[in-house]
Amino acid sequence: VSGSFVFMNGCTGNDCINTRVDNCYLTDAACATKAVDHLIQLGARKFLLPPQADNLPRIRTLSTAIQARRSAALPLEFFVYEGYRWENYNNDCGEYTADINATLAPLTVEFPTSFVGIQLMDEPRKSDLASLQLQVACIRGNPNPAIRSLKIFVNLLPLDSNLVKDPMLDKGAAAFLTPAEYGVDCAAGGITDTGKATDLVSKFTSYVIEAANMIQPANGSGSSYLATNIYPFIKTYNNCAAAREFVMSEGLSTLSAAANLRGITPVSYTQNTRSLGSDPSFYYANFHKLRWSASWFYSLGGRSISNFVSNNYDGKSTDDDVLQGMLDNNNDPTTLASDAQ
């Protein structure tokens, strides 16, 4: 979808960042240009950079390629990830401000039109939001007008995450609830326990509203984006259309309503990925399935999508966890690329 976000996954999983430099868009200018050009052809206009807070050379490699392709007709933008750095400072605004003014402020000068925003912690729990609220206040209170006017992007948990039901769980325990846990009977093809369904939606609504209030534009600050990543074609829903439809309808409509009421752009991640192993967690979503899921979101008030994921991702431990992206490890389009257009 033209004008959409793309989630950049750090080249080829963790391999490129930690040990490799070949074909990596964070370390090689030609590779960065190649990746950006292909993603532009697929409709990307906003780039969510991978976590590289303490490595400005890598940020600059990709950002330079984005800036070079930017024009009035092609208004490319990028966001830097600021989840880890804030956590490292334990809510200390003074130290955080000094750090980002030394590291991010130069980017606002070097890339004044394309560097537009900050992405907060990915998939925060409700119990994380108080800390993130302090981070947002710290950013918006920054003495540098270029920093305090940056846009804020935050991606929330999906409706059926067990961390929505119990936000005090450790994030390492993140998993999907089973349909029965939120009142859906797959065999019956619908909700059979309205109490469980209502309880989960109520908790998700409270979580989304708190996050939306936290990033609501105010006092001349930049605009905001509120996202969630509901992937419709995964193992959880493979034999349970009722669960898929419940999670999509309730999750996407709740997010869109809360965001739109506050002048925030609601964003949904699209499943531009699939597992390559023998026991897939992500099933193949062709062009028609992607259009179906995006249309569902827009009909529920959505206003933008984020393509997940840019490149093949091999950062997990088994073959069954290897994910194919829109580009391969050489930054060439994969078979999924044509489905993304």
Query: In this predicted structure, what is the pLDDT of residue 242?
Result: 98
Least confident window among 6-15, 64-73, 132-141, 223-232: 6-15
Q: Are 252 and 230 in contact (CB under 8 A)?
A: yes
Question: 1, 326 in Cβ contact below 8 A?
Answer: no
Is the pLDDT at 75 greater than 50? The verdict is yes
Question: Is residue 230 helix, strand or coil?
Answer: coil
Query: Which pLDDT does position 183 carry in this prediction?
Result: 98
What's the confidence (pLDDT) of residue 160?
97
Q: List Cα–Cα distances, 201 to 61, 122, 244, 299, 332, in angstroms.
A: 42, 21, 14, 19, 41
Of 11-15, 115-119, 209-213, which gets the smallest average pLDDT?
11-15
Does residue 54 contact residue 64 with C-beta atoms inside 8 Å?
Answer: no
pLDDT at res. 4: 92
Q: Which residue has the higher pLDDT, 93 or 54?
A: 93
Burial of 289: CB neighbours in 10 Å, binned 0-12, 13-18, 19+ = middle
Predicted model pTM: 0.93
287-327, pLDDT tens digit by residue?
A: 999 999 999 999 999 999 999 999 887 655 454 568 899 99
Would you say residue 262 has pLDDT above 60?
yes
pLDDT in the model for residue 252: 98
> Does residue 45 surpass a pLDDT of 90?
yes
**Residue 18 pLDDT > 50, yes or no?**
no
Contact (CB, 8 A) for 310 and 39: yes
pLDDT greater than 80 at residue 189:
yes
- Is residue 19 very low, low, confident or very high in pLDDT (cuts 50, 70, 90)? very low
**HEC-encoded secondary structure of 60-94:** HHHHHHHHHHCCCCCCCEEEEECHHHHHHCCCCHH
The CA-based diameter of the chain, rounded to the nearest angstrom, is: 59
> Length of the chain, please?
341
Mean pLDDT across the stretch 331-336?
92
Mean pLDDT of 247-273: 96
> Which amino acid would we find at residue 96?
Y
